Structure 1
Amino acid sequence: MFPLYDVLPSRKKPYVTIALILINVVVFVYELMLNDRELLLFMYRYGLVPARYTVERVKEALGFSLLPFITHMFLHGGFWHILGNMWFLWIFGDNTEDEMGHVGYTLFYLSAGIFAALTQFVFTLHSTTPMVGASGAVSGVMGAYFVLFPYSRIVTLFPIFFFLTLVEIPAFYYLMIWFFIQVLNGLVGSYGIAWWAHIGGFVYGMIWGYILRMRRIHRYRY
């Protein structure tokens, strides 16, 4: 099920979402300009390496820095990696930004990425593989969307036997299925993808979404 767009129009221009996409693209273009050695060093310096904080020899090699908890979410490991993350951010980000406002959405996005990274960190304390990508923060956006706009519909490219067809799936069910897949992979321990970052980001987004929804209900009630 590949999402193409949602049917819920945004009221305002999603300036922050557009800016985040542009920043990620600029950083990725910079990555493409590096040779293999430079790129490896770049990933280890600005990607999140859990062992940097838990294994003494890795601490000594990389040095202590909390910056990767932020910078990791602007790095990507390949074309399809960044394309997928930015596509999902574009679909779910505009309405979420609409609801939160530009400043609130910016703070939410960055904090969701940090919380997602911390979640992955807890499950991979001694890993020496750099965690990179916006997927944790984007998962946070999706979690907030799940709570704030459950009745929206996601136009999805759906395979039926040998044919592809467009299907409108309620956002609640689409995102619930997506989240279930992340949890399943996290429990199985599929290698190479930060499943727990996706899970942590999504739950964090749900909490933010719930708080905003309660405020909205309270505002309308009074």
Structure 2
Amino acid sequence: MIPISDDNPTLRTPVVTYLLLGTIGFVWVFIQGAGLDAYRLAASVCNLGMVPGELTGKAALGLPVPLGDGLTCVVDNEPINLLTPITSMFLHGGWGHLLGNCLFFWVFGNNVEDSMGRLRFVVFYLLCGLAAAAAHLLVDPGSPVPTVGASGAISGVMGAYLLLYPRVRVNMLFIIVIFIRVFPVPAWAVLLWWFGVQLFSGLPQLNTVSAEASGGVAFWAHIGGFVAGMALIKLFQNTRYTNQRTSMRHRLHPNHP
């Protein structure tokens, strides 16, 4: 199932959502080389990605970590490491990783921004990303593997959406062999299904020494971001905006809940 849109109009242009997407795209093209140069991509992931073991000091200095194509990332103690929980939010490991994150953010981000205002949304997004990083650190504090991606922050946006608009319909693309169809599905079903997949997939990581056991995906960062978004939304939402949005949605879709 792939979300492609929702029946949830916005009152204001989602400037921050556009800027964040643009920043992610800029970083991917001009810093990571759009994935066309294996060395440049590996260097960005190694130097600007978050390595839990570097932050906690639990990974041995000089430990090499394979990144593919004969390239390795070596655990170090450079000052830039302290900033990697933030810099890693704007990096990606490949086109699929990038496009998947951007699609989810495109569908859910504009409405959450519209419900709290632009400045609050910037702070909210970064806090969710940091909470996701903290969750990953807690589960795998000694990992020498670099972690990158906007997934944790976007997970927070999705958690906020769940509480704000649980009954809004999300248009989901279903692809089963040659069967391709779009169905409207309540947001609560889409988001709880997604969260359940992350939780089920992340459980094995609690019994391993490295996130590599789950294919290198930091599922607990997704879970931490999602929970943070649910916990923070009542603090960050602007009730005047959400009331205006609810009234407009009911006018445009009077037969929808």
The two structures have a TM-score, normalised by structure 2, of 0.79
- Rate the CA distance shift 1:67–1:165 in 2: closer, same or farther, 3 A: same
**2:229 maps to 1:205:** yes
- 2:51 corresponds, among 46, 49, 52, to 49
- 1:157 corresponds, among 169, 173, 192, to 173
State the Cα distance separating 1:49 from its structure 2 match.
0.3
- Rate the CA distance shift 1:49–1:152 in 2: closer, same or farther, 3 A: same
- Rate the CA distance shift 1:153–1:128 in 2: closer, same or farther, 3 A: same
RMSD: 2.2
Which secondary structure state, in structure 2, belongs to the residue aligned with residue 90 of structure 1? helix
- Rate the CA distance shift 1:60–1:78 in 2: closer, same or farther, 3 A: closer
**2:56 maps to 1:32:** no
Whole-angstrom distance in 1 between the partners of 2:162 and 2:75? 42
One-letter identity of the residue aligned with 1:63: E
Whole-angstrom distance in 2 between the partners of 1:61 and 1:120? 19
Q: Residue deviations 1:132-172, cap 9 Å, x none?
A: 00000000000000001111110011246741211110001
Which secondary structure state, in structure 2, belongs to the residue aligned with residue 43 of structure 1? helix
- 1:144 corresponds, among 139, 150, 160, to 160
Identity %: 40
Superposed, 1:1-222 pairs within 5 Å as 1-30=1-30, 31-32=32-33, 35-53=37-55, 54=57, 55-57=59-61, 61-64=76-79, 65-159=81-175, 162-189=178-205, 190-211=214-235, 216=239
- Rate the CA distance shift 1:212–1:63 in 2: closer, same or farther, 3 A: closer
The two structures have a TM-score, normalised by structure 1, of 0.90
State the Cα distance separating 1:29 from its structure 2 match.
0.4
Larger radius of gyration: 2
Deviates more, 1:152-161 or 1:74-83: 152-161
Deviates more, 1:177-186 or 1:190-199: 190-199
Whole-angstrom distance in 1 between the partners of 2:42 and 2:3? 32
Structure 1 gap segments, 5+ residues each: none
One-letter identity of the residue aligned with 2:13: K
Count of residue pairs brought into register by the alignment: 218
Whole-angstrom distance in 1 between the partners of 2:83 and 2:168? 36
Whole-angstrom distance in 1 between the partners of 2:198 and 2:161? 17
Whole-angstrom distance in 1 between the partners of 2:182 and 2:37? 41
Which secondary structure state, in structure 1, belongs to the residue aligned with residue 172 of structure 2? strand
Whole-angstrom distance in 2 between the partners of 1:152 and 1:60? 45
Whole-angstrom distance in 2 between the partners of 1:137 and 1:77? 16
Structure 2 gap segments, 5+ residues each: 63-73, 206-213, 244-257
- Rate the CA distance shift 1:183–1:135 in 2: closer, same or farther, 3 A: same
